[in-house]
Chain A
Amino acid sequence: MATRKTSEPFWWLLFAAGGMVAALLVPVHLLVNGLAVPLGWTSISHARMLALAGHPLVKLYLFVLIALPLYHWAHRFRFVLEDLGLHGWRTPIAILCYGGAVAGTVATLWVLWGI
């Protein structure tokens, strides 16, 4: 049986790294940035947030925090769609999901560049 060269290991590594980042870091950010700050349990002033996000190391951290889990999403969502019976659409699904993650990575770089 002929075997095909596949890019799966590449995407799987990004998925695994993104899943780990999401598991370790996302819950606390969801709690603080998604609930505590909007609900006024705590406040992070514009000046302080800007000073924080402007620091190169924090920028690097934010890049890892946002970009990597996008690949985790892309990988899982791609297989969810396939598991829901869309096997005939494998290639377009993969392009859309991973393409979305790449677009998100570029957007993250652009936003962080502008801070």
Chain B
Amino acid sequence: MSEPRVERPGLYYPKLPTTWWLRNTNYFLFMLRELSSVFIMVFLVLFLVELYRLSQGPKAYGAYLETLRAPGWIVFHVVALAFALYHSVTWFKLSGVVQVVRVGERQVPPSLVTAASFALWAVVSIVLLWFMVRG
């Protein structure tokens, strides 16, 4: 928690406007990165509803898939996919910097850690894709 700071007379205290994130590209991309979590959360809630409808029988499940066919939900999922991909890319890039991996005394370069994460992501995605769409 931040206590209000004691302001000394004579000094000018600048106030950061709430629109600070529109001031430069990096700030704006940061905001997109953080907001990607909202789209991911909404998708997972929709997916949870799908699982709930699944437990209610074929009719309810079919009706729910019909709902998801609505143009509005398709647009949402396309946008959410873009945000989810942005999350994955930024996450692997940043976690490569955060997670220091050492081999012996040497630090593995963050770019190599990131590359390994991308490779893992690709393998996991392909395995899941195969698991879900086969037969």
Contact = CB atoms under 8 A, between A and B. Distances in A.
The answer to whether A and B touch in the complex, with CB atoms under 8 Å apart, is yes
B21 interface: yes
Q: Is the interface of A mostly helix, strand, loop or mixed?
A: helix
A94 B40 CA distance: 19
B73 A19 contact: no
A4 B57 CA distance: 51
Interface in A56-92: 62, 65-66, 69-70, 72-73, 76-77, 79-80, 83-85, 87, 90
Interface residues of A, number: 52
B18 A84 contact: yes
B91 A115 contact: no
B40 A22 contact: yes
Contact of A34 (B16, B52, B81): B81
Contacts of B84: 22, 26-27, 30
Given A20-B95, A34-B77, A70-B44, 4 more contacts: A22-B87, A28-B124, A32-B132, A48-B135
A28 B125 contact: yes
Given A107-B48, A111-B52, A38 B40 contact: no
A27 B43 contact: no
Interface in B55-101: 55, 57-58, 61-62, 65, 68-69, 73-74, 77-78, 80-81, 84-85, 87-88, 91-92, 95
